[in-house]
Structure 1
Amino acid sequence: MSKLGNLGARLHRGEVGYDFIGNRKIWYGVSILITITAILGLAVRGLNMGIEFQGGAVFTTPKNMSASVATAEGYAQDASGHDAIVQKLGDGSLRIQVAGIDTADADRIKDTLAKDLKVDTEKINADLVGPSWGEQIANKAWQGLAIFMILVVIYLAIAFEWRMALAALVALIHDITITTGIYALVGFEVTPGTVIGLLTILGYSLYDTVVVFDSLKEQTKDITKQTKWTYSDVANRSINGTLVRSINTTVVALLPVAGLLFIGGGFLGAGMLNDISLSLFVGLAAGAYSSIFIATPLVADLKEREPQMKALRKRVLAKRAQGAAGQETAAARTGADATDDATPAVVGPREQSASRNRGGRGRPSGKRR
């Protein structure tokens, strides 16, 4: 943990970092590929809308039923003539959903199920949802989502600027498309709990995005008065500075949601937990991804199109080129000086001192006579 904390501090100070903005085309390509997959899932399989949105009945049997899910599904389809969804809950009871039936059909199906499952009719609980009510709920959900989007764009445009508002809107649409596409591919039922989960993850996605935007806004107040950093450079530093914080908050949020999804929904068989936990799990992960890899790089792309930022970029690149040329010149001079110091001096023949031969003039070498 201490290493992660040190890494976060170094990222915040700009000592280390990853070039998110420079590799933005890769992230755009990955997002487009995932989005296309989600759209194909929606087009081919479609959403499995719950009875709250299309009307129908829900039958709940007593606890500790011996009948299997497949057997109960066959009984329900034979009794209703419609497709049925059967879930076994944690207490052993069965939750049987049949869409597109009215009150008279519900009473008849209830009696038939009681005979097939060999239980008393009064022990089977039946909840009926009218089609008109379900359609009204669906319309209200779409209206609430549209109003939420409009308010978000207005707020971000006032608090920051319209480019950041547009980037945040694109990131939100990206998160919604991926989450609904996963629902279509997995086949989970869409219920009011799913809508609650979607609204929750949209708020969380905006939280991560606003944190990065706030840091970016603070660091680019007087950006045109310097020639060291471009807008993309500062945007990249903003992402790196908040990266560890975003990862920590996302992991902490995903852990309990994963518990709801895999333990509560998978092992305990709680249907409502499946509905809300899958949207939360997928949405939280997609929101963290979009705030780092989509929203901020898109803001940088939009800002770099401004004349002031184009001029700033030219000045920064010119200064960097000048500095690189100066470094090359200095390196060349240093290499030349090192070559001169390493050249050996030319040494001539060693001169003999005259005093060494003065005393022995005319005297041959060898023994003295």
Structure 2
Amino acid sequence: MPRAADLGITIGTLPSGPTGSILDVPGVGVGHATVWRDEPSPPLGRGVARTGVTVIDPGGNPFRSPIPAGGAVLNGAGECTGFLSAQEWGLAETPIFLTSTMQLGRVYDAACELLAEEEPGIGDEDVIIPIVAECDDSFLSESRRMQVTRDDVAAALAAARASVGSTSAPAEGAVGSGTGMSCLGFKGGIGTASRVVPTGHTVGVLLMANYGERERLTIAGRPVGRLLPLAGQPTAPPAGSCIVVVITDAPIDAAGCQRLARRAGLGLARTGSTAHHASGEIFVALATGLRAERGTVSAAVALQGRELDPFFAAVVEATEEAVLNCLFAAPTVVGRSGNTAEGLPVDQVIPLLR
């Protein structure tokens, strides 16, 4: 599937990294486990599943070497475990797990088990609160039965570790936790993008897009949602929620990470988000450049004040582009009860941008 850059769509002024994805940040990995199932409805079966798990692994051992982190909430009708402790301590101690709303507990349990099996200090020296965030995919996926298993979480985590150093972007669109998501009236899901700032540091964004109304879809400043000839086409109902994960290799402290996270909302707004009443826009930012061993402080000097301005711009641009990459990658998906999220008609969109 084409990405925004492949279609000649330029977002902002900063250059992208080699893969144009969050994988451009050194040591970062992304893995998906897609759950696609067609069974009779409960109680005879588990119903139709269009769901999954996505893992963003910052590399190394976050329990032994926590990562400066901060978060922001645009609208809080959602859940992200570990968010409060990351805000309080300014540190992330686990990879980040994404899934659907009613699978969050299963993914949390599996994350605790899997990470504890790898690190003997977990549960002995200290406990962990894994960062697990969700969006609602119940328009396409049967949510009355638990569809995700520990094996799915393990597979996504292993795939994330294996993707480190990849020379191409990870899969986007209807994959992993994005399998059942809808965005701006079309099929949504996972999207990612990156930017390189003048200092040479990289800012990567990965998001799970499940928000917005078709009439508000905006691409590179053009009101595409109002310009597309869509008479008679089915449409997904206005969806709510978007999880945005920002990672950079720059030396930025927890307060700076919180400020980075907040800028993700500007990127979403440029695509047509108005943060609906029932929408959960939750943003988390990590900065590996000040990473240090547990109980110690990095010797690096944190960037401050106006030094952060290029990073703010990078987050806004990469977030906007990640949404577009998600939309361009996602095909039409038919889910439970025949509900359908149409893929964005790229061949109709491109002429509108010219």
Higher helix share: 1
Max radius of gyration: which structure?
1
- Greater percentage in strand: 2
TM-score (norm 1): 0.28
Higher relative contact order, structure no. (Cα contacts within 8 Å, ≥ 6 residues apart) = 2
